[in-house]
Amino acid sequence: MRAWRYDSFDGIDSLGLHEAAAPAPQRGELLLGVKAVSLNYRDLAVLLGRYVQNARPGLVPASDAAAEVLAVGEGVTAYRPGDRVLGAFHPRWFGGEIPPGWVADSYGTGRDGWLCERKVVSQEAVVPMPEGLSFAEGATLPCAAVTAWTALMGPAPLRAGQTLLTLGSGGVSIFALQLAKAMGARVIATTGGPGKVNRLKALGADAVIDYRATPDWGAAVRALTGGRGADRVVEVGGPATVNQSLAAVARGGEVVLIGFLSSENPGIDYFRLKGTGASVRAITVGDRAALAELARAVAVTGIKPVIDSVFPFAEAKAAFRHLETGRHVGKIVIEVG
């Protein structure tokens, strides 16, 4: 069995391809043939030594995958060989409060991730893949799509007729756009250049703002909403964009903190934060129940994940380099087998 591993954290070239014995399932476990892996910014941040959680050399990267059940261990009743499954981003968070020790369970930082040919996991750590999706499409769901679902659905779900603001054209933002339109919401999107404006509109965005041409895009969002602002902001940029998100959010609205695509940190304007009357909610993807709900929603609505590009397993480094450019729209996928 082949697996990519972090030999160090000195950049993309520190990824190494290794041979290992194929694992075998024990009681309650599944042996999976990994079919496709999708990349998230966190995977790149780990390689570049920029991630907020420490990782140790030797781990297999990547948190998101679609796989086929090859064999089952004793006592497994939920799945059988041939079933198509998705790995939950948090393998032990089934619902309710996130369990203690979840950081140590995180794929690619606390334990081996999915960028390998075979993997053994608990039958509780996967959910069935929606019908009608390819393995490449299914692999995009566990992190980005569930994060968007969590941002839109709880604790107060986004409602039809409300306005959502998304930032950029990465996986979380695209899924949030698609899900919000399926809910009947209005979507305003930002992007970093005119080349992506038409693409975002084709995906359903009602208005698109080029943040390079309009640095004060928070005010532009208010102008597009008659001065009211966006009811919800899916904030993926981090410290460099949060003040503009606060300028864009409606009074009593919500800014959902997802991650960080920026490293500069000018600090949060306290008076702007307090003056919005908005709530700020930080999320870390979602539990397994959210993945199951999201999978059902994708199946019912017919939402198709937006895949920017697909790379073969042997060219995993090229996939990471493409992610690093930031030129992608949607998800970057690595086909494993």
- Does the pTM surpass 0.85? The reply is yes
Closest CA to 84 of 46, 43, 32: 32
CA distance 218 to 190: 10
For residues 183 and 156, is the Cβ–Cβ distance under 8 A?
no
pLDDT tens profile 267-298? 788 888 888 889 999 999 999 999 999 999 99
For residues 176 and 168, is the Cβ–Cβ distance under 8 A?
no
- Span 43-68, average pLDDT: 92
Domains, the chain, with CATH or none: 2-140+305-335 (3.90.180.10), 146-282 (3.40.50.720)
Backbone angles phi, psi at 219, to 5 degrees: -65, -35
pLDDT tens profile 143-180? 999 999 999 998 999 999 999 999 999 999 999 999 99
Q: What is the pLDDT of residue 273?
A: 82
